[in-house]
Amino acid sequence: MKTGFDVTCVVLSLVVSVLFLEGIAGVGIGTVFAMLFTGTVTQHFVNRLNERFVFQKMMTIKERA
């Protein structure tokens, strides 16, 4: 999901940049690298945390009553 959102944002940035600045500005190799790998790396760490810890949903006020 994160990677899809990042791709959408970068593509939108490219379109706006080309339309209003008549060229690609502000989108470099670092942006593309971050777009592709941020979601993947984050998911890796989430999986590692889920293997090591047990996360439980907190009770809401309604559930306590």
Residues 13-46: tens digit of each pLDDT:
999 999 998 888 888 899 989 998 998 999 999 9
Query: Is residue 26 within 8 Å of 17, Cβ to Cβ?
Result: yes
- As to burial, measured by CB atoms within 10 angstroms (0-12 exposed, 13-18 middle, 19+ buried), residue 35 is buried
- Can you give the pLDDT at residue 60? 78
The pLDDT-based confidence of 65 (bands split at 50, 70, 90) is low
Nearest of 42, 41, 36, 44 to residue 4 by alpha carbon:
36
End-to-end CA distance of the chain: 36
DSSP state of 2: H
The pLDDT-based confidence of 3 (bands split at 50, 70, 90) is confident
pTM over 0.85: no
- Can you give the pLDDT at residue 1? 81
